[in-house]
Amino acid sequence: MTALTTETAPPYNRREMSVDETAAANAIRRQEERLQRDPSSLAFAQLADLYRKAGRSAEAVALCRQGLGRYPHYATARLILAKALVAEGRPDEALAEIERILEASPRDVQSHRLAAEVHRRAGRIDAAVQHLQAAVRLDPADRESRAMLALLHPDDQTAPEDSGVARVLADDTFVTSAFGALCLEQGLVDEAALVFTRILRKDPSNSAARDGLEQAFRARLRRKG
């Protein structure tokens, strides 16, 4: 039997691009060409967002910084920059950009949502709640913000009475990351979130509680569909 030559062998090590990836690459190429034709165009923001969604967050940051040097009041570009900074693992810089947007436009719903996410991931529960409350006031149809607010609201200091663990959670002895993880394993998402938020209000730097809260949030979103 004749061995396969280099020319006829299937490209086992070459991953073909999916339809979505191809569409994204084509969109990036078109925006790059557009920006090349007119370097002063506002198209830099759309291209930066495409970079960010394609996982090229460092390029998105650089492009936004360059464009905002020309258009410092372009709020959409600044929000894209903030999202790219979050993706780059630079939350403090992202929050600074969000705050600049909100200083000029306090009713910017997307900025409140992103600010809530940054604060939540950092364990700053009360700050996250403030931005979620603002988002819900501005957009009552925002289901995701409502879901998170239900988990984090500072008035929710007790578990549901019919949960079977309300009396246990009344004792701070059980307000531990281990107990929160156990609640998650048992499908008690709201109770787990209550445990983690109580821990984080005392110790925002508790990484186990921050991770647990993120898991609880994702589980609740899946449950709500």
72: CATH: 1.25.40.10
Domain assignment present for 130: no
**pLDDT for residue 167:** 64
Does a structural domain hold residue 153? Answer: no
Residue 116 pLDDT more than 80?
yes
Residues 6+ apart with CB under 8 A from 165: 159, 183, 188, 191
Q: Is residue 28 part of a domain?
A: yes
Q: For the segment 67-79, what is each residue's pLDDT rounded down to a tens digit?
A: 999 999 999 999 9
What is the C-alpha to C-alpha distance for residues 47 and 32, in angstroms, rounded to an integer?
7
For 81-103, letters b (16+ CB in 10 Å) and e give bbbbbbbeebbebbbebbebbbe
Q: Is residue 37 domain-resident? A: yes
Across residues 62-70, what is the average pLDDT? 97
Q: Are 193 and 216 in contact (CB under 8 A)?
A: yes
User: Taking 50 as the threshold, does the pLDDT of residue 118 lie above it?
Assistant: yes
At residue 3, does pLDDT exceed 80? no
State the pLDDT confidence band at 148, using cuts at 50, 70 and 90: confident
In a domain, 44, yes or no: yes
d(CA 166, CA 132): 26
The more confident residue out of 152 and 120 is 120
**Residue range(s) defining the domain that contains residue 66:** 21-91
Q: Is 71 domain-assigned?
A: yes
pTM, entire model: 0.79
Encode pLDDT of 4-52 as tens digits.
333 444 443 445 667 678 888 888 999 999 999 998 999 999 999 999 9
d(CA 57, CA 84): 5
* DSSP characters over the chain: -PPPPTTTS--TT-PPPPHHHHHHHHHHHHHHHHHHH-TTSTHHHHHHHHHHHTT-HHHHHHHHHHHHHH-TT-HHHHHHHHHHHHHTT-HHHHHHHHHHHHHH-TT-HHHHHHHHHHHHHTT-HHHHHHHHHHHHHH-TT-HHHHHHHHHH-TT--S--GGGS-HHHHTSGGG-SHHHHHHHHHTT-HHHHHHHHHHHHHH-TT-HHHHHHHHHHHHHHHHHH-
For residue 37, the number of C-alpha atoms closer than 13 Å in the C-beta half-sphere is 7
Domain contains 82: yes
In the chain, the number of structural domains is 1
pLDDT at 222 over 60: yes
Q: Is residue 215 part of a domain?
A: no
Mean predicted lDDT score pLDDT of the chain: 85
